[in-house]
Structure 1
Amino acid sequence: MALEIAVLIVALLALAGIILMLIKPQAKTGTTDFQETLDKLHKNLIELVTRSSGETKQAVSSAFSKEFVDIWEKINKQLEAVRETVEKKLGDIQKHNDTKLEEMRKTVDEKLHMTLERRLGESFQLVGERLEQVHKGLGEMQTLAASVGDIKKVLTNVKTRGIWGEVLLGNLLEQILTSEQYQQNVVTKKGGNEPVEYAIRLPGKDQDDGQTVWLPIDSKYPKEDYERLLDAQERADKTGADEAGRDLETTLKNEAKDIRDKYLDPPHTTDFAIMFLPSEGLYAEAVRRPGLSERLQREYRVSLAGPTTLTAILNSLLMGFRTLAIQKRSSEVWALLGTIKTEFGKFGDLLDKTHKKLQEATNTIEDASKKSRTIERKLKGVGELPIHKAASLLELDEEQDVESLKEA
């Protein structure tokens, strides 16, 4: 209704405008009444339009409010329906997700349980193996500790330590020399009663009469002095190292003097003896001391030797023994070579005779071959007889000799 009124007002305004346009050219000849009438009409139209516009606005506003309320109610109903649908769908999705999550949780729990059991089993097995190895290693360590303890006891006890050096010396002699070339616990000094640990038997001038020249070898191991020296060197204690070095020199000098007094007795022995130091480190330290080795040789006629040095000395002596043996047996070798030469001369004569006989046999065979070829040339013109006739003429056995003639 309000819309229709608005259209009507617009139409009236348009009609008024047209009338004004038609009347305007005749304004000069029109009357004042008509003009006033038009003015009133215009005012009325304006009032009508204004009033109609307000009513239209009110009507439009009322209609719009009503339509808006209806639309809002519809929208609320639709939103409520959508909300319910969404809540239902979300509930279904949540239930489905809960079901899937529960299944996934069960699967993951099973996998984790299986993996955990397997890993724990492997870990326990590995730990068991490691513990077994550790137990085995501890057993070996205990054995090693016991062995180290035994070695410590050996090296701590002076007598046992001497036996250890003596055993090492005996092993070196046994590896290089024969049992006839050395002897253990020999009293080398005439009228003495102190046996040296080992002595090498050297050939003397009267060896054929049972006389032997001995080379005394005695092992010494001043462990305490050497260990004090090593400890001082590790601590970088120069004063302590110098003092321990002097103590070591004094001990070695005393041992060398003891060896000279107990074991050297030329010409029954050599004019020098060997002091065997069973440790390469100890030997190197002794040789490193300025003038110590020369002084021991000059004043006490004792030479120092470590395991390597003694091995070289024994190898040199062994070569000397072999050279001496070769010299002693040189006459036998020459006699043997003379016999071989005589027999070889006889063998040459025999070869010459054999060659002559072979030459004679070769000449005889060549003569027979020449005669055979001569007979064959003369028999070329003679005709051949049948085999049976030849056999009968030659009085051959028909079976064996016929076969031999066929083969011929």
Structure 2
Amino acid sequence: MNNLSDFLSTTIVTLGGLNISFGQVLASVIALVVIMLVAIFILLWRASNNRHKARDLEMQNSMAAQSQMNDLLKVQAEMQGRMTTMAELFGSRQSELNQNINNRLDGMSQKLGNSLVEQTKATHENLSKLQERLAVIDTAQNNIQTLAQNVVGLQAILSDKQTRGAFGQSRMETIIKDGLPIGAYQFQTTLSNSSRPDCTVKMPNDSPHLVIDAKFPLEAWNAIKKAADDRATTEASRQFRADIEKHIKDISEKYLIAGETQDTAFMFVPSESIFAEIHENFEGVIQKAHRSRVVIVSPSLLMLSIQVIQAVLKDARMREQAHLIQGEVIRLMDDIGRLDDRVRKLQTHFGQSQRDIDQILTSTDKIAKRSAKIEDMDFQDTDSVNIEKPEQKPISVVKPAQEKGRLNLRP
């Protein structure tokens, strides 16, 4: 026993001046084992409680699931009854729907047949109209081909210098002929210096003639349009400027003759685009033309100038015939005076007729009143009534011309 106590009191480890014996270690181990056993017991108890709770919960869930299953079976039975009812309803509705569909299909078939007949008829009509339009298109195509041939011919005309000048001459002659009367212009007339301008327009009051030149250098202009690069364009522009300045100089020297022609001549450009291009890019040419008293005109400007000349010629003719117009106006005033006198006489006759009508109405009013008194047997004031004598009117003598209502406007 003493040996056991000594063994238990034997120091095993010294920690920080504290001696730890074998008995203390054994007591600590036993205490630790007891604590572990208590913890295991507690854990087993808790596990048992959890199993009981889980089993109770499972039983509750099973009962709830059974209840839900019963409810589902009940709902399923109700659904089967409803589905049977719906199947019967759907069967009847389906038969009605099939009948309606058949009826509508029959109606649609009939309408479709009628529509196809009408569509076929409309298609035939459209095809006939299309054939007519195709015939028109063929005619238009033939016209276009003819126009293309004419354009090719025009291009061939413009490629030749003489024919191109004839083209400008024809355009200028057309404008002149449309705007001025015959005798107010001449084509290819010879001046005193033996030069022959394309057209001379006679001005009023024996003024000198206006000269119009229709020749225009288009070779350099076509070269400008056909230039492939800037260098070729510059060279063609320089040549065009030189050619047109030379042409302006020729017009100024040949056609501006003092006392015979106007101090200004027209140079006709047969294209509006060329005219606009000259004014936009060749300002020096325009200035030289102004200094040389040559006006560059396009077809529209020439037409406007011709209209102004026509107005001036008309004004000159009016001044020449002024004395005749004045005499006609004097005779017209005499006719108006006679017309006024005769209208006043006619107004006097109408006034006299109106007074006679008023007196007739007064007499008829008195007759009506007298008739009413006779009808009512009212003769009280008969003796005091003075019988009116009809007023004697002078008989007016109407001239035959007035009686027939004629108004002579000539003396």
Q: What's the TM-score once normalised by structure 2's chain length?
A: 0.51
User: Hey, what's the Cα distance between the residues in 2 that align with 1:263 and 1:381?
Assistant: 108
Higher deviation after alignment, 369-378 or 215-224: 369-378
**Could you tell me which residue of structure 1 aligns to residue 197 of structure 2?**
196
Task: Select 1:356's aligned residue among 330, 348, 352.
Answer: 348
Task: Select 1:347's aligned residue among 339, 345, 353.
Answer: 339
**Could you tell me which residue of structure 2 aligns to residue 159 of structure 1?**
162
User: Hey, what's the Cα distance between the residues in 1 that align with 2:375 and 2:359?
Assistant: 24
- The question of whether the paired residues in 2 share the 8 Å contact of 1:229 and 1:244 is answered with yes
Seen in structure 2, the aligned counterparts of structure 1 residues 169 and 326 have a Cα distance that, compared at 3 Å, is same
Alignment partner of 1:244 is 2:236: yes
- The question of whether the paired residues in 2 share the 8 Å contact of 1:220 and 1:278 is answered with no
Alignment partner of 1:228 is 2:240: no
**Could you tell me which residue of structure 1 aligns to residue 263 of structure 2?**
271
Q: Can you give the 5+ residue segments of structure 2 that lack an aligned partner in the other structure?
A: 1-130, 378-411
Seen in structure 2, the aligned counterparts of structure 1 residues 215 and 381 have a Cα distance that, compared at 3 Å, is same
Report SS of the residue matched to 2:258: coil
Task: Select 1:303's aligned residue among 295, 300, 308.
Answer: 295
**Could you tell me which residue of structure 2 aligns to residue 55 of structure 1?**
none
Q: Can you give the 5+ residue segments of structure 1 that lack an aligned partner in the other structure?
A: 1-128, 385-408
User: Hey, what's the Cα distance between the residues in 1 that align with 2:174 and 2:319?
Assistant: 29
User: Hey, what's the Cα distance between the residues in 2 that align with 1:376 and 1:138?
Assistant: 89
Task: Select 1:336's aligned residue among 311, 318, 328.
Answer: 328
Report SS of the residue matched to 1:321: helix
User: Hey, what's the Cα distance between the residues in 2 that align with 1:142 and 1:340?
Assistant: 62
The Cα RMSD (Å) is: 3.6
**Could you tell me which residue of structure 2 aligns to residue 174 of structure 1?**
177
**Alpha-carbon shift at residue 278 of structure 1 (Å):** 0.9
1:217 alignment partner AA: I
- The question of whether the paired residues in 1 share the 8 Å contact of 2:204 and 2:312 is answered with no
User: Hey, what's the Cα distance between the residues in 2 that align with 1:306 and 1:372?
Assistant: 84
**Alpha-carbon shift at residue 169 of structure 1 (Å):** 0.8
String of CA shifts for 1:129-157, please: whole Å, max 9, x gaps: 9xx99x99998887566434422331222
User: Hey, what's the Cα distance between the residues in 2 that align with 1:137 and 1:357?
Assistant: 73
String of CA shifts for 1:350-391, please: whole Å, max 9, x gaps: 12222222222333344455455556766765999xxxxxxx
User: Hey, what's the Cα distance between the residues in 1 that align with 2:329 and 2:294?
Assistant: 45
Identity of aligned residues (%): 22
Report SS of the residue matched to 1:250: helix
2:338 alignment partner AA: K
Seen in structure 2, the aligned counterparts of structure 1 residues 225 and 383 have a Cα distance that, compared at 3 Å, is closer
- The question of whether the paired residues in 2 share the 8 Å contact of 1:162 and 1:220 is answered with yes
User: Hey, what's the Cα distance between the residues in 2 that align with 1:352 and 1:136?
Assistant: 70
User: Hey, what's the Cα distance between the residues in 2 that align with 1:227 and 1:345?
Assistant: 71
User: Hey, what's the Cα distance between the residues in 2 that align with 1:222 and 1:376?
Assistant: 102
Seen in structure 2, the aligned counterparts of structure 1 residues 361 and 279 have a Cα distance that, compared at 3 Å, is closer
Report SS of the residue matched to 2:245: helix
